[in-house]
Amino acid sequence: MATGRTGWMKKIINDLKKSIDKNRPPNTINIMEVCGTHTMAISRSGLRQLLPDELNLISGPGCPVCVTSNRDIDHIIGIIRDYPVTLFTFGDMIRVPGTDSSLQLEKSRGKDVRICYSPMDAFDYAKKNPDREVVFIAIGFETTAPLTAVLIKRAYGEDLKNFHIFNTHKLVPPALELLLLDKEINIDAFLCPGHVSAIIGSIPYQFIADKYNIPCVISGFEPVDILESLDMILGQYNKGRASVQIQYDRVVKPEGNPTAAALIEEVFEPADSFWRGIGNLPLTGLKLRDRYMRFDAAVLFPVKTIDSKEPPGCKCGDVLKGILKPFECRLFARACTPENPVGPCMVSSEGSCAAYYKYERTKI
């Protein structure tokens, strides 16, 4: 008899199967996981193959590298081409193709592009090299925005003139509402992101349950966390009710992290934001408040207008909205592989296409 965690997982899977009406057609309960770390965990653990056929797990726009728009990538490439700056970026971003180049290509042409593991690397470099203009690509959701805010406040306090951010920070809850309003997408429940929710708490999702009657469960990242979360979702779904529950309660509190949230509020304000393959979504991003605007690299380093284009044939936009599964893109595992990625969803370690390629290709 299976014991411990394995036994617990088997029990939850059996409970899930028992709780679903057997007359339902396959793939008719659509549950979107909004976080790239969840997508990877689901693919890596093989959960999809263990779940009842009626459950359809859809990957959403939760990978920060993947949702960064092509026009932002093109602007960053324009900066490194046109200005003598040192650019710091997280690793995955360097390989994302822009319209006619990538940061990796520009680096190979001699531009000063450096991979960092923390924004502090960029900040420290700027302090030690006051004659060099330094730009850090600030990507991510509410999880990473507080650290960016800390650095901006420090740069302001220390009157550091050569540190700048190219800001692409985005917000999760308003983006979820826009997905619900999109008639092409059919979402029955959200598996909400654990890391983002550690900052914002559960309250910002309440409108999804109240206004749209869509269950939300904030989940941890272990396979057993995800299974428990799905069980909680079905508990709501089967009763026709919707609420916001926290499965990941060892980390996430309803009120979130007020200190981190206050930092975001102090340094940033909500603004429209361009999302890869989706377009300009109202009030789904963050922009620096006027007081800190001098740190904004996009303003300080304008580039000539670029007619940004998605890579031909790439369906990242539809993949990010959950309309298509990665293997439904004609380029998947053919022209587009992790070694030769066409779009960011295949580049990023949290991208849906990379997850399916690495862990689920043989099962499709």
Q: Which parts of this chain interact with ligand SF4 (CB under 6 A)? A: 314-316, 319, 326, 329, 331-332, 336, 342-343, 345-346, 353
Pick the closer one to ligand SF4 by CB: 9 or 345.
Answer: 345
Q: Residue 57: exposed, middle, or buried by beta-carbon count in 10 A (0-12, 13-18, 19+)?
A: buried
For β-strands 85-89 and 133-138, DSSP reports them as parallel
Pick the closer one to ligand SF4 by CB: 40 or 149.
Answer: 40
Closest contact distance (angstroms) between CB of 52 and ligand SF4 is 27
The SS3 call for residue 183 is coil
Strand arrangement, sheet containing 29-33: 55-59, 29-33, 189-192, 216-218, 244-246
The long-range contacts involving 103-111, CB below 8 angstroms and separated by at least 24 positions, are 103/76, 103/77, 106/77, 106/80, 106/81, 111/80, 111/81, 111/87
Closest contact distance (angstroms) between CB of 177 and ligand SF4 is 24
Q: Which residue is nearest to ligand SF4 (CB)?
A: 343
Closest contact distance (angstroms) between CB of 48 and ligand SF4 is 17
Find the farthest-apart pair of alpha carbons in the chain and give their distance in angstroms, rounded: 69
Q: How far apart are CA 232 and CA 34, in angstroms?
A: 16
Count of other CB atoms within 10 angstroms of residue 282: 11
In contact, 51 and 360? CB cutoff 8 Å: no
Closest contact distance (angstroms) between CB of 181 and ligand SF4 is 23
Closest contact distance (angstroms) between CB of 351 and ligand SF4 is 7
In contact, 273 and 285? CB cutoff 8 Å: yes
Q: How far apart are CA 46 and CA 65, in angstroms?
A: 24
Pick the closer one to ligand SF4 by CB: 88 or 357.
Answer: 357
Pick the closer one to ligand SF4 by CB: 301 or 332.
Answer: 332
Count of other CB atoms within 10 angstroms of residue 226: 25
Closest contact distance (angstroms) between CB of 344 and ligand SF4 is 7
Token reading at 284: 């789904």
Pick the closer one to ligand SF4 by CB: 255 or 328.
Answer: 328
CB neighbours of 133 closer than 8 A, spacing ≥ 6?
Answer: 83, 84, 85, 86, 162, 164
Q: How far apart are CA 92 and CA 302, in angstroms?
A: 24
Pick the closer one to ligand SF4 by CB: 208 or 355.
Answer: 355
Pick the closer one to ligand SF4 by CB: 60 or 343.
Answer: 343
Pick the closer one to ligand SF4 by CB: 196 or 346.
Answer: 346
Closest contact distance (angstroms) between CB of 354 and ligand SF4 is 8
Closest contact distance (angstroms) between CB of 314 and ligand SF4 is 4
First to last CA, the chain: 30
Closest contact distance (angstroms) between CB of 360 and ligand SF4 is 13
Pick the closer one to ligand SF4 by CB: 85 or 353.
Answer: 353
